Each structure stands twice: as structure tokens, then as C-alpha cells.
Amino acid sequence: MSEESDSLRTSPSAASLSENELPPPPIPIGYVCSLTEELVAKAREELQEKPEWRLRDVQALRDMVRKEYPNLSTSLDDAFLLRFLRARKFDYDRALQLLVNYHSCRRSWPEVFNNLRPSALKEVLASGFLTVLPHADPRGCHILCIRPDRWIPSNYPITENIRAIYLTLEKLIQSEETQVNGIVILADYKGVSLSKASHFGPFIAKKVIGILQDGFPIRIKAVHVVNEPRIFKGIFAIIKPFLKEKIANRFFLHGSDLNSLHTNLPRNILPKEYGGTAGELDITAWSAVLLASEEDFVREFCQPVPPCDSILGQAPVPEGLGSDAPCDDSTRAMKSQLYSCY
């Protein structure tokens, strides 16, 4: 690693708590890395993660949270903070901003995040709107399969679909393997009509894209769209202005050409619905995984939390502040104060 990269890892000193500040939550100890040797090497190469520096890096981010956001109700344990460091390639400043955004999003969109538990979304899960395929792609990415045609708008609002997607992302990111490899999205737009597409307007698009790009610690490696009707051009026109160039370049539109899809996702990992040889698409297995995690989600998402303004202030988020460019130390303190609710 270059000297410049190493300088980003200089651990800020821990701030002592004043009498008026709340004590930090207890920090569990005993983190044990579950990555294989191959994934450790991949994390070192792609994410600048050095195993010998890992706990020091986590402590540095923990110190920054305590100093700049002492009242932020967040987990500070090693495994949780590592998600944010990996998602931002161990740049402390960007990892901190991502963590603040993560909580800002949750507090600013109560229709999605209040009472977020699998049992509250049984109808969405049973509809087949989304599932995770049992086999990962050749890069080790889990494949999130989304089928909007399975949603009947008269049954429940579109925010219920977004809640189900977020639940799935939260479950996937618990795995260190996913934190390193990232995920792939397979979106099947077969049968999506204009009336259904109209529910996904600019407001919803901006919120969802904001969460996926700047408010959640996950690496989206590719988005494969199949069976898209002509109306999808209109849908993508709504989405594209909110996409960063890097993410926009990871969208692949295949239409009904499954051979094109198979050049990216081999047939042996796909269900027969997409020209694969891995059997029929099964939605029950992933639903069972989520429902078995009910207690974890209740503990994380069903507890009262203070309003966003009381923790993060009311300053707006300027355009471009969530960019990929790392912030230097001289501007970190100023920029971090500008992060607020979406």
C-alpha cells in the first residue's frame, strides 16, 4: 500500500466523554474473522484490508463515532463496523459518512423502516417478488432476484416491496463473504405495465438509489435486467439521474436474449425460468431464512429511536458530498457535520 493510503489509516485519538455526553454502548469483544485465505487475499487487494491492521482500523472508526456523534444510537462492535470499512475500502472518513447515512435513512423514512420484521412482510415474501438464488456467481456474489410483475399494487403499497428488499440486504450483509464479494441483482421486468411502473416515481427512485449507493454497506457488482418491456426506457430514465457513473456502468439490459445473460451468469447457477439448469425457481427457502431471523430484526428495527434531527442536525446534504472521492483530514470535520436525513 502506498504511503498516501497508509496515511488515511492514521487512527484519530479517542475523545474523552464530557459530563453531558452519554457513555458509549458496551463493545463486544472476541471478533474472529470467518474469511477463507482466498477471500482474505481478495479483501487485501480490492478493499485495502490488512488483517494485521484490522482491529486498529475498527478502533479508529469507533473513536470517530464517539467523538463526532456521541449520541448516535448505533452498534460499535467490531463485526458491525467492519461492514462500513469494507464498503468504503477502509477509508475512515467515507466509512463514517456511510454509517451516518445508514442511520439517517432509517430515521427519515418511517414508512419503510418502522416495524421492519419478516413476519410483517409475509405477503410480499409469498408473492415471489424477490428471492436469493441458492448458487452464487463465479465471483462469489449472491444473486438477488427481483420480479416486479409478481406485485399487485391493489394488495399493498410499493414501500412494502422496498421493505422486503432492505430486509434481504440486511440479512445478506451479515456474511463477511458478502461484504467482500458483493452482490448481483437480477431484475425480471416481464409483464410490467405502465400503470405499475408509475408507482416508481422520482421520489421513490431517489430514496431507493440514495440508500443503495450512499446509505447501505454493500457492494453492488452488477444489475442484470431481463425481459424489460419498452416502458423500461422510461423507468431507467427516472433512475439514471440519481446513479453514479460507476453504478450506471454496471447495468446490463438483456431483453429476452438469455444467451446474453448467460455470458455473465452461467446456466448452471440459474433456474430454468432463465434458461438455467439449476432446477425451478424456489422462493420458499429464502423466505424461511428471513422468517427464522425474526428475533434479530425485532431487536434491530422494532425499538424506539430518537428522531433524526436530534442526533444529526438539520443541515442539508449538498450535491456531490456522497462522492467516491475520499475526504482529506482537513475537511473531514466540516463535511461530516453536513450529513443529515435524506
pLDDT score recorded for residue 304:
65
Whole-prediction pTM: 0.81
pLDDT score recorded for residue 308:
52
pLDDT score recorded for residue 200:
84
Return the CA Rg of the chain.
20
Confidence band (pLDDT; 50, 70, 90) for 263?
very high
Type of residue at 284: T
pLDDT, one tens digit per residue, over 184-211 is: 999 999 988 888 888 888 889 889 999 9
Q: Which of 145, 147, 123 is nearest to 134 (CA)?
A: 145
Does 312 or 86 have the greater pLDDT score?
Answer: 86
Type of residue at 112: V
CA max distance for the chain: 64
pLDDT averaged over every residue in the chain: 84
Report whether 290 contacts 167 (CB < 8 A).
yes
pLDDT, one tens digit per residue, over 295-324 is: 999 988 877 655 554 555 543 343 333 333
Three state DSSP letters for 104-116 = HHHHHCHHHHCCC
Confidence band (pLDDT; 50, 70, 90) for 11?
very low
Taking the CB of residue 79, how many other CB atoms lie within 10 A of it?
17
Q: What gap in Å lies between CA 4 and CA 288, rounded to an integer?
A: 46
Q: What gap in Å lies between CA 76 and CA 316, rounded to an integer?
A: 26
Dihedrals phi, psi of 132, to nearest 5 degrees: -115, 125
In angstroms, the Cα distances linking 41 to 9, 37, 51, 125, 177 are 19, 6, 10, 36, 12
